[in-house]
Amino acid sequence: MKLKSLVLAMVAGAALMAQGAGAATVNRTAPVVTTDDGLGGFNAHFGDTFAQSTTGSTFSDVFTFDVGTPFDAAASLTSAYLNTPQTKDLLITGLSLYRYDPVTKAVLGTAIAGIDLTGSGADAPDSWALSGFGLTSGAYAVQVNGEVRGVGGGAFGADLTISPVPEPQTWGMLLAGLGVLTTLAWRRRQPARVRADVRRR
């Protein structure tokens, strides 16, 4: 009797472990490889691939980068997958951009959430986009969340564009320069008006 109970408990435990293994979360973190755009910013392309062994898993991929000046950012993502009958094998559930502390990995401030642009239709490939303006310098991460739902797995690819924002001193110099040009133009017109008034008298 005890042996039978022990065998049943082992079978139940094995079934629970197998179920838990299929529902695992896959977490990956990788630095983004950037390419200088020649204008003070950079571009990056990144992504991930999921095999049959990850079926039934959720994932959270984090791609990190550092920016030394204030900047604007834009990112877009699209997915590709094999379509197992009646199953969308790869589903992207979120895209976000956030600043973080490189030591503690804690999120600093509020994350910028992406917009789901996935079209309508049966099992349309996922498409997401996000943008942020006037962001401060520091360590940032793009996070992609999703589910591997079918045995075909799938992949996603994303691109990131970073453009520097002029510093406040630059804006001040620009406005001061425009003020000087306006004053010079006004002074050039003043003698002409005085001469015209003298001639009329």
Q: Which tens digits make up the pLDDT trace of 91-103?
A: 999 999 999 999 9
Where is pLDDT greater, at 62 or 189? 62
Q: Which of 108, 114, 55, 107 is nearest to 81 (CA)?
A: 55
Residue 175 burial (C-beta neighbours within 10 Å; 0-12, 13-18, 19+): exposed
Rounded CA-CA distance 157/64 in Å is 15
What does pLDDT average to over the chain?
Answer: 81
Q: Which residue has the higher pLDDT, 141 or 55?
A: 141
pLDDT for position 182:
79
Listed ranges 6-20, 22-36, 143-157; the one with the highest mean pLDDT:
143-157
Phi/psi-derived region of residue 154, left when phi > 0, alpha when psi is between -120 and 50, beta in every other case = left
pLDDT > 90? residue 180: no
- For residue 65, what are the contacts with CB-CB under 8 A and spacing of at least 6? 31, 32, 34, 44, 139, 140, 141, 142, 160, 162
> Cβ contacts of residue 107 below 8 Å, gap of 6+?
98, 99, 100
CA distance 48 to 74: 19
Length of the chain: 201
- Report pLDDT digits (tens) over 116-130: 999 887 778 899 999
What is each CA distance from 124 to 100, 149, 175, in whole angstroms? 33, 14, 49
Could you give the percent of the chain with pLDDT greater than 90? Answer: 48
Domains assigned to the chain: 23-184 (2.60.120)
| pLDDT over 80 at 18, yes or no | no
Distance CA 50, CA 57 (A): 10
